[in-house]
């Protein structure tokens, strides 16, 4: 599993928008607007809508089983992925293509299908631990929801993902409440 934050944008614009509700000018200094933002970040019900203005692009390479659950988060999330149909038969698979060990006989089976160019059968037979890479564009509000709902999930990749995001975002204090 690999998670790399590519870019973050919109914090200044989010603070400017937030300052409008409080009839104050935002001049780029974080003091007043930032303090209000910290107070509202976890209130929900529209009080924290400024979080939608902070965009984040993340390069995520995780198993298929993770993506099935990630697809729950559709609002505020756009994804572009490697196309299994177009890429799966370009080269033989190795253990590095999987999050968990694949038995040698099964790997030979998959690679024989690849050798024959039978991408559809390969796709059907891929284990859930097959790594698929996506570039995800999302925002702080969606990430906050993901972290709140998935941090203690049974699938261990969720905690790893949340820790990676919290460790790479510029303003983790808006994603996870202090414990």
> pLDDT per residue over 55-70, tens digit each?
999 999 999 999 989 9
Q: What is the mean pLDDT of residues 21-50?
A: 80
Q: What is the mean pLDDT of residues 117-124?
A: 94
What pLDDT, in 10s, does the model give residues 68-84? Answer: 899 888 777 888 888 78
Domain of residue 155: give its range: 2-63+74-79+132-174
**pTM score:** 0.87
Domain co-membership, 116 together with 102: yes
Q: Given CA atoms 74, 80, 86, 87 in this order, what sign does their dihedral have?
A: negative
Give a yes or no: residue 68 inside a domain.
no
Domain co-membership, 35 together with 59: yes
pLDDT at 25 > cutoff 80:
no
Q: What is the mean pLDDT of residues 31-39?
A: 84
Domain co-membership, 9 together with 52: yes
Domain co-membership, 113 together with 28: no
Q: What is the mean pLDDT of residues 96-119?
A: 96
Query: Of 44, 45, 39, 5, which Cα lies nearest the Cα of 22?
Result: 39
Cα dist. 45→30, 34, 42, 61, 179 in Å? Answer: 23, 19, 9, 32, 22
Total structural domains within the chain = 2
């Amino acid at each position: 599993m690999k998670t790399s934050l590519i870019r973050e944008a919109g914090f200044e614009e989010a603070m400017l928008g937030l300052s409008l509700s409080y009839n104050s000018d935002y001049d780029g200094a974080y003091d007043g607007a930032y303090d209000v933002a910290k107070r509202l970040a976890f209130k929900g019900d529209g009080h924290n809508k400024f979080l939608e203005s902070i965009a984040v692009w993340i390069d995520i390479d995780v198993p298929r089983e993770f993506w099935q659950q990630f697809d729950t988060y559709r609002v505020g999330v756009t994804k572009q992925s490697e196309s299994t149909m177009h890429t799966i038969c370009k080269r033989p698979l190795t253990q590095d293509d999987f999050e968990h060990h694949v038995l040698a006989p099964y790997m030979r089976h998959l690679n024989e299908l690849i050798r024959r160019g039978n991408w559809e059968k390969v796709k059907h037979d891929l284990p859930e631990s097959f790594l698929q890479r996506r570039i995800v564009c999302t925002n702080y509000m969606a990430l906050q929801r993901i972290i709140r709902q998935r941090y203690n999930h049974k699938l261990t990749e969720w905690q790893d993902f949340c820790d990676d995001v919290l460790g790479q975002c510029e303003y983790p204090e808006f994603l996870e409440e202090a414990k």
